[in-house]
Amino acid sequence: MRIVLIEDGAVYDGETPARRPLGGLERAVCALAAALADRGHEVQVLNRAPRTTCVSGVLWSPLPVENDALLPGEPPDAVIAVADPALFHRCPDAPARVLWALGTPEALGRPDGRAAIEAFRPALALPGLAAYNASPVGGGTVVPCGIDPVFRPAWDGHARPEPPEPPVAIVTTHPLHGLAEVLDLWEERIHPAIPAAALHVYSARLACMLEPESGPLDPLSPLGALAARARALAPAGVEVRAPLPSKAMAEVYQKARVHVYPGHPQDMICWTLADSQASGLPAVARQRGACADRIVNGESGYLVPDTEALANVTLEILRGPEVWRSLAGTAARPERRRAWETVALSMERLMTV
């Protein structure tokens, strides 16, 4: 089957994940395309790739600049539009169409999105129960995303080594999606109780803002205020770091003791939470968005109702090796790591209905 995936977001191709950090959506496109090619399909990705290249059996090509430009040549057997249903206008004659809804629910509910869904009637692939329940268009099939094998713990199948001291908590959420409350609880509750503990905040935006060459921070902007606050808390063990490529982030997860994830109502996938859980890192998260899709409550981490509980459970995991060990073992169970080949099989079914 000749399959075309269309995505119109960041600049990347199949070689990018090994060279620099990528967002979860972009990594998912790379992984699904490669998995479909491994299953014998002729696969092309049209996105903002810098050039035409072939990677792992997948042809990557730049998407025509004009928003309404049709794809050249004969139509493929199937087209997968990523996040944006309006992308079907680029390839209107494909016999099979799948909308891979990796964006926010509101993207499907906008007038242009609804119009495209009504015009092209694609099969709808939703990444989890949270996305299914929040979808404004109804229907669809839940197709959970896969986990990159790089996040398989190095100790898989052996006794779980305890992370090094002092204990490290990590935050990977978008800074405007709850970082302020994490910094509050760290300053007021965690640091006074465990002075040696560290909080590593992984954020490309904040790390860039805190580079010396970036100049002074704007304290009146929300991000500037957060960056200044994080920098001021350096004596309390808070450190802002730039995200790393997947292999290096897997090592980060395996050396940390807890992933503090505030969550956000519009976060329907929780990419980094999925990766850290697969790496065996316990998590504590608010009951928002797709956090419940990622955490087995009380077994691989905890879903908590408020900031007070977030602080209490974080302290419990940082202090208690037995609590940590039990949660880490469940988080890293092999059956929780969905292979991208399985995702490809699910997509094949949607393309042949």
pLDDT of residue 212: 84
306 phi and psi, to 5 degrees? -155, 175
User: 316 near 327, Cβ under 8 Å?
Assistant: no
Looking at residue 39, the DSSP 8-state letter turns out to be T
pLDDT of residue 158: 62
Per-residue pLDDT, 67: 61
CA angle 89/91/94 to nearest 5° reads 125
Tell me what pLDDT residue 308 has: 95
pLDDT of res. 148: 94
Which parts of the chain have pLDDT scores under 70?
Answer: 67-70, 72, 154-159, 353
For the question of whether the overall pTM of this predicted structure is more than 0.75, the answer is yes
Q: What is the pLDDT of residue 155?
A: 66
The pLDDT assigned to 334 comes to 81
Q: Dihedrals φ, ψ of 241, to 5°?
A: -130, 150
Domains along the chain with CATH numbers: 2-146+338-352 (3.40.50.2000), 150-336 (3.40.50.2000)
289: left (phi over 0), alpha (psi -120 to 50) or beta: left
Q: Which residues contact 42 (CB under 8 A, 6 or more apart)?
A: 1, 2, 3
The pLDDT assigned to 352 comes to: 87
Give the separation between CA 83 and CA 113, rounded to whole angstroms: 10
Q: Which of 266, 153, 245, 156 is nearest to 202 (CA)?
A: 245
Dist CA 10 CA 26 (whole Å):
8
Structure tokens at 232: 């001021």
Instruction: Quote the CA–CA distance of 3 and 125 in Å, as a whole number.
Output: 16
Closest CA to 84 of 39, 51, 38, 48: 48
DSSP 284-324: EEES-TTHHHH--BTTTEEEESSHHHHHHHHHHHHH-HHHH
Which of 58, 292, 11, 18 shows the shortest CA–CA distance to 148? 18
DSSP at 2: E
